[in-house]
Homo-oligomer: A and B are copies of this chain.
Amino acid sequence: MASHGARGRGGGRPTLEEVAARAGVGRGTVSRVINGSPRVSDATRAAVEAAVAELGYVPNTAARALAANRTDAIALVVPEPETRFFAEPYFSDMLRGVGAELSDTEMQLLLIFAGSDRERRRLAQYLAAHRVDGVLLVSVHADDPLPDLLSQLEIPAVISGRRSADETLPSVDSDNYGGGRAAVEHLMARGRRKVVHLAGRLDVYGAQRRVDGYRQALLDAGREVDDRLIVPGDFTENGGRRAMTLLLERCPDLDAVFAGSDVMAAGARQVLREAGRRIPDDVALVGYDDSAIARHMDPPLTSVRQPIEEMGRTMIDLLLGEIADRRPAVSRGLEKRQLVLPAELVVRASS
C-alpha cells in the first residue's frame, strides 16, 4: 500500500536490480539485454524489455562508466577563440557533419574551446581525467602541443588536415593538391595564358600542397613554372592585397589568379579593380574554400570546395574505429588511418 506503479519509492530512479526482479531474471541477463548481446533467448528478452518499459528504466551512465571504463562521449576540440569559431563557416559545417554521423550512436559530443592558455590548461586537466573516449581536433597548427599530449595520454584522436606529409595521428584531409590542380587546369582550359598563384602561409601543409598542385598543372600543360609568380599571403584580406600588388608588378600581363583562399581573393579583387583590370574579362580569379564570401562577391567567385561536412563524418568514423580497436588488447595494425577526400571546383562568374 506504499508506492504505486512505475518507479519505486523515494523518487529514485529504478536500477538494473529492480528491473531484474520485475522481469524475474538475474542482473546479468538484464545487462545483456540492455547492451544488445545476442546470447539471450527471445522470450527472456521480451520479458526484460517489458520490465524496462514499465519501470521507465534508464541506465546510470556513471555506474556504467565506472564499471566499463568508458564514457560514451567524445570531444570536438577547437584550438581557437570562440569568435573565430562563430565567424568561419568551416566550423559549423564540420559540426553538422559530426553531429549527423553521431546521431546514430549513443555517443555524446562535447564542444571544447581551447583558445586561451587558461582554457588549454583546463582542457589538459580534462583529458587527464579521461572524461572522453576520444578527441576530434580541428584546425591544428603545425607546432601545437595538443596532438602529442593526446598520444601521451593514449587517448584516441583524429585531426582534420595534417601537420606534415608524414602525419602520425589518424587524420582526414581534403585533396589540396588536386584542388590546386583543378583550379589551374580550369583557368588554362578557359584559355588563360599567364596564371599566377597567390599562395597561403607556406608553413601550413595544406597551403603547400595547393602550390604543388599549381606547379604540376602548369608542368603537365608543358608550361614553365616561374617561382616569382608564386607569392605567399597570410590568409588575410590584407595579405591578399599585398601579394596581389607584388604579382602585378612582377607580371603586368597576367590574365589569371589562383588564390589560396577566398578571403585573399577578396583582397586581390580590390587591387585588381584599382588597377583597372576587369574580372573576368581581363583577369580570371579563382579562390579556395567556397565560403560565403565567394558566393556574395561581385562577380561571384569561382572557388575550390572542400567537403567539410563529409570530412566531419569521416573523422567520426575513424575515431569510432580507433576507440573500438583499443577495447580488446589487440591492435589490428595500421590500416588506412590517413584519409584524403576529394576537393571540387565550383565555377562561377569570376573565371
Interface of A with B (CB < 8 Å)? 11, 13, 56, 58-63, 65-66, 71, 82-83, 86, 89, 92, 95-96, 99, 103, 108, 110-111, 113, 118-119, 122, 125-126, 128-131, 154
Q: How far is the CB of A146 from chain B (nearest CB, A)?
A: 18
- Asked whether B62 lies within 8 Å of A82 as measured between CB atoms, the reply is no
Q: What residues of B have a CB within 8 angstroms of the CB of A113 in the complex?
A: 99
- Do A58 and B128 form a contact, CB below 8 Å, given A99-B113, A110-B108? yes
Q: Decide: A95 near B110, CB < 8 A? Known: A103-B118, A125-B58.
A: no
Each complex incorporates copies of this chain amounting to 2
Which partner residue on chain B sits nearest A116 by CB separation?
Answer: B103
Is A61 in contact with B99, judged by CB distance below 8 angstroms? no
B residues in contact with A128, CB < 8 Å: 56, 58
Taking a contact as CB atoms under 8 Å apart, the answer to whether A122 and B95 are in contact is: no
Please determine whether B11 and A154 come into contact, CB atoms closer than 8 angstroms.
yes
| Cα distance, A131 to B65, chains bound together (Å) | 12
Chain A contact surface mostly: helix
Q: How far is the CA of A126 from the CA of B65 in the complex (A)?
A: 15
A86-B86, A108-B126 given; A62·B58 CB < 8 A:
no
A99 engages B82 (CB within 8 Å): yes
A62 interface neighbour in B65, B96, B154, Cβ under 8 Å: B65
Residues of B close to A122: CB separation below 8 A: 103
CB-nearest residue of chain B to A131? B61
CB distance from A110 to the nearest CB of B (A): 6
Distance in Å: Cβ of A80 to nearest Cβ of chain B: 13
A58 to B153, CA, bound (A): 13
Q: Which residues of B contact A126 (CB under 8 A)?
A: 108
In-complex Cβ contact of A130 among B13, B89, B103, B118 (8 A): B13
Note all chain B residues with C-beta closer than 8 A to A82. 92, 95-96, 99
Q: How far apart sit A117 and B56, CA to CA, in the bound complex (Å)?
A: 20
Separation of A98 and B311 alpha carbons in the complex (Å): 30
**Contact assessment for A131 and B108 in the assembled complex, using a CB-CB cutoff below 8 Å:** yes
The residue of chain B having its C-beta at the shortest distance from the C-beta of A72 within the complex is B131
Name the distance in Å between A234's Cβ and chain B's nearest Cβ.
25
In whole angstroms, what is the CA distance A129 to B13 when docked?
Answer: 9
Q: Is the CB of B86 within 8 A of A92?
A: yes
The residues of B that contact A154 with a CB separation of less than 8 Å are 11
Provide the bound-state CA to CA distance between A202 and B95, in Å. 34
Given contacts A103-B122, A108-B110, A154-B11, contact A59 B129 (CB under 8 A): yes
Tell me the minimal C-beta distance from A31 to chain B in angstroms. 16
Query: Complex Cα distance A60/B96, Å?
Result: 31
Q: Which residue of B lies closest to A68 (CB)?
A: B62
Residues from chain B with Cβ under 8 Å of A59 in the complex: 129
Distance (whole angstroms) from the CB of A69 to the closest CB of chain B: 8
A-B contact pairs, 9 of them (CB 8 A): A56-B128, A58-B125, A59-B129, A82-B95, A82-B96, A83-B92, A86-B86, A86-B92, A108-B110
The answer for the CA separation of A108 and B71 in the assembled complex, in Å, is 14
A331 to chain B, nearest CB (A): 14
Query: Which of these, B111, B118, B119, contacts A111 with CB under 8 Å?
Result: B111
Most chain B C-beta atoms within 10 Å of own C-beta, residue among A60, A86, A128: A86
Residues on the B chain within 8 Å of A110, using CB: 108, 110-111
For the A-B complex with A62-B71, A82-B99, A86-B86 known, give 17 more contacts whose Cβ atoms are closer than 8 Å: A58-B125, A59-B129, A60-B66, A60-B129, A61-B65, A61-B129, A61-B131, A62-B62, A62-B65, A65-B66, A66-B66, A82-B92, A86-B92, A103-B119, A103-B122, A108-B110, A110-B111
